[in-house]
Structure formats: structure tokens, C-alpha cells
Amino acid sequence: MKQIKYNPKQVVQLLKNEYIAKCSSKAITYTKTFKLLAIKQYAEGKTPAQIFAHAGLGPQLISKYVPDNCLRHWRIKFKVEGKIGLMTDERGFATGDRKGRPKTKGLTDTDKIKRLKIEVAYLKAKNDFLVKLRAQRKS
């Protein structure tokens, strides 16, 4: 699916909505109260599109796929972690469980050497594995 981009006018319009905590050109962060309200209304039988439209977030403002995707994600999180799961920040940043490439800026020389030694050991093990794999294929 294509990434949605919001222009500056849309961002300003979205930020006026009481149910939006933050908004950038690439992403919208909804308030925790809206997430709980949406789950409650969904349980009462409303569709995701109806819930978002009633909140002033119709398909002309956000993509028609956003309500379904958001509500599916929130319901799973609510089912697994409960109300507290929706109240905490998502994507692992609140708990310090950051994922992705480790930071390399600001490392001391000893930390850099340690990191490079680990990398060399990994690459040696990888090469040894590939040598053994090639030997098995030849025989």
C-alpha cells in the first residue's frame, strides 16, 4: 500500500481535531481517549468508517483504509495488553526497547574497537560457514 502524505493544510486541519494528539506529513497520532472510544463504539456495532467519520476524520481527510487498519491494531493491543496497552506509547519507544541499527556516534575508542572485534568475529564465522557449505555442495 502506498504511503500517505499530508500537505501542510491537511496537517493544520488534522491538528484542530480534538482526537489527534500529533500529526506530521507522514503520520497521525490519535489520543488515547479516542482509541478507547473507538474500541467501545466498535463493540457496540459501529463500523470503523462510521467511528472515524463521527470523529470528524472522514475519507476526504484520511485514507479510506486508515480506520480499518487503526482499529484492527488497537483492538489487538487492547485484547493482549488491556487498557494500559493503549495508554502507553507504541513502537517500543516508551519502554526503551528501541529496534534498528545501534548508535555509532559518540562512541569511545575502546567501544569502537570492541564493536569492530565483534564484527570481525561475525564475518569470520560467516566465511567459515560459507566455505563448509561450498564443500558440501561439491561433494
Q: Are residues 63 and 115 in the same domain?
A: no
Q: Say what the pTM is.
A: 0.61
Q: Tell me, what amino acid is at 111? A: D
CB hemisphere CA count around 132 (13 angstroms): 6
Of how many residues is the chain composed? 139
In this prediction, residue 124 carries a pLDDT of: 96
Least confident among 23-37, 38-52, 53-67: 53-67
Q: Are residues 79 and 117 in the same domain?
A: no
In this prediction, residue 94 carries a pLDDT of: 47
Mean pLDDT of 70-83: 88
Of residues 120 and 4, more confidence is placed in 120
Count of structural domains within the chain:
2
**Residues spanned by the domain of 126:** 102-139
Residue where the block lists cell 487498557: 83
In this prediction, residue 138 carries a pLDDT of: 86
Q: Kindly state whether residue 1 falls inside one of the protein's structural domains.
A: no
Q: Kindly state whether residue 78 falls inside one of the protein's structural domains.
A: yes
